[in-house]
Amino acid sequence: MLTDVLHNDLPWQLRSKFNNQLNNVDLNTLNSTHTNIPKIKAGRLAAQFWAAYVPCDTQNKDAVRQTLEQIDVIHRMCEKYPEDFMFATSSRDIMEAFTQNKMASLIGVEGGHSMDSSLATLRTLYQLGVRYMTLTHSCNTPWVDNWLVDTGSDPSENNGLSDFGFQVIKEMNRLGMMVDLAHVSERVMKQVLNVSEAPVIFSHSSAYGVCPHKRNVPDDILKLVKEKEGVVMVNFYNDYVTCSDKANLSQVADHFDHIKKVAGASIIGFGGDYDGVERVPEGLENVSKYPALVAELLRRNWTNEEVQMALGKNLLRVFEKVEQVRTHRKRQIRARMTPAARRCTACLC
């Protein structure tokens, strides 16, 4: 059993606790976080998307710089522990890391404010290794509404996605960057599922049918994700598991069961959200506990194939499809070019 997980906020802990000074921390002995290297090995993690997160109050200020600093610390973390981590940017890299007995380390940006409403910045983030972007965090950007709009505590500023927001989705499809709908309003979920050429993800969201929290995914959206061949990675934050401050492993498994019942096992994954939340379920205290959740699913008569799908096959399928859409788009563009333009592109004239 090896697990591919979509969302872990250890880089934020490195910033908040150590100001990103990796010389002052040893991930082999660090015990104040949900995540360290021994816990990763005990949890049998094969791949991890590290979140490059900066708070909403950086928006329209220094969000881009701070995001670059978080991307930098992820790169440096991989360089410091080359025997354990392999930096990865593709589905193929994940499989290569597996053959080397290392954990593939990938980057996701958590919040569209990190691109500062600039497609050039989005493209730069991709070049630095970012392979998914959460469209919002818990704040609106100038081009997309966040989940708090659905609670009435934030006003809708874009009626979901603005015209520029639709451009962002198209550009992410073109680049091969996964679109993450965790944190967005329900209207945005529907808009993106309608227009995205590639499958989408919910990197760390649970089932609204089990816990009616607006950060979770309603049943009708789960069915649309199924149609789009996307994936919903279940969040372990107590508030999203039970809509209270207490939860346990069995109640997390209830979300897996519900999503499977509504839309099938092909859209389910492990989202975690470790080191990004202060309350995690009893029995899932840190990343070493993933095998206990697997055991619970098997106890509930999940088949080995269904468990393997949730552990990573579903995510790999989505990642590969996003890459295929990127390749197809490139071929379409090249096919529309004149022979002279294709020759010019090839020789960089």
Of these residues, 7, 34, 255, 258, which one is catalytic? 7
Q: Own/partner pairs for 144-149, CB < 8 Å, 24+ apart?
A: 144/112, 144/168, 144/184, 144/188, 145/184, 145/185, 145/187, 145/188, 146/183, 146/184, 146/185, 147/183, 147/184, 147/185, 147/214, 147/215, 148/214, 149/185, 149/187
Q: How far apart are CA 180 and CA 105, in angstroms?
A: 18
**What's the pLDDT at 336?**
80
Catalytic, 163? Answer no
**What's the pLDDT at 37?**
98
Catalytic, 7? Answer yes
Provide mean pLDDT across the span 239-261.
Answer: 98
* Exposed/middle/buried for residue 212 (C-beta within 10 Å: 0-12, 13-18, 19+): exposed
**What's the pLDDT at 178?**
98
Provide mean pLDDT across the span 113-128.
Answer: 98
**What's the pLDDT at 343?**
60
User: What region, left, alpha or beta, does residue 44 occupy, with left being phi > 0 and alpha being psi -120 to 50 degrees?
Assistant: left
Is pLDDT at 338 greater than 70 in this prediction? no
Q: What is the DSSP pairing of strand 130-134 with strand 178-180?
A: parallel
Catalytic, 75? Answer no
Provide mean pLDDT across the span 278-306.
Answer: 98
The alpha carbon of 310 is separated from its chain's Cα centroid by a whole number of angstroms, namely 14
Is pLDDT at 342 greater than 70 in this prediction? no
Catalytic, 110? Answer yes
> Bridge partners of 50?
8, 107
Catalytic, 93? Answer no
Q: How far apart are CA 90 and CA 319, in angstroms?
A: 8
**What's the pLDDT at 349?**
42
3-class DSSP assignment, residue 202 = strand
Q: Are 207 and 251 in contact (CB under 8 A)?
A: no
Of these residues, 4, 34, 116, 137, which one is catalytic? 137
Among 203, 199, 204, 206, residue whose Cα is nearest residue 230: 199
Tokens representing residue 135 in the block = 């469209």
Of these residues, 113, 183, 213, 255, which one is catalytic? 183
Is pLDDT at 348 greater than 80 in this prediction? no
**What's the pLDDT at 340?**
63
pTM above threshold 0.75 = yes
Give me the percent of the chain exceeding a pLDDT of 90.
Answer: 92
Q: Spell out the SS3 assignment of 158-169.
A: CCCECHHHHHHH
Catalytic, 328? Answer no
**What's the pLDDT at 15?**
98
Q: How far apart are CA 184 and CA 182, in angstroms?
A: 6
* Cβ neighbours for 100, distance < 8 A, ≥ 6 positions apart: 86
* Cβ neighbours for 313, distance < 8 A, ≥ 6 positions apart: none
Tell me the average pLDDT of the chain.
Answer: 95
Of these residues, 4, 34, 110, 180, which one is catalytic? 110
Q: Residue 181: how many CA atoms within 13 Å on its side-chain side?
A: 30
Is pLDDT at 125 greater than 70 in this prediction? yes
Catalytic, 137? Answer yes
* Cβ neighbours for 129, distance < 8 A, ≥ 6 positions apart: 71, 74, 75, 87, 89, 106, 107
Residue of higher predicted confidence among 153 and 343: 153
**What's the pLDDT at 6?**
83
Between 253-262, 296-305, 325-334, the lowest mean confidence (pLDDT) is in: 325-334
Tokens representing residue 254 in the block = 């209830």
| Residue type (1 letter), 275 | D
Provide mean pLDDT across the span 35-54.
Answer: 97
Of these residues, 4, 186, 273, 296, which one is catalytic? 273
User: At 130, which helix (H) or strand (E)?
Assistant: strand 130-134
Is pLDDT at 337 greater than 90 in this prediction? no
Q: Are 113 and 157 in contact (CB under 8 A)?
A: no
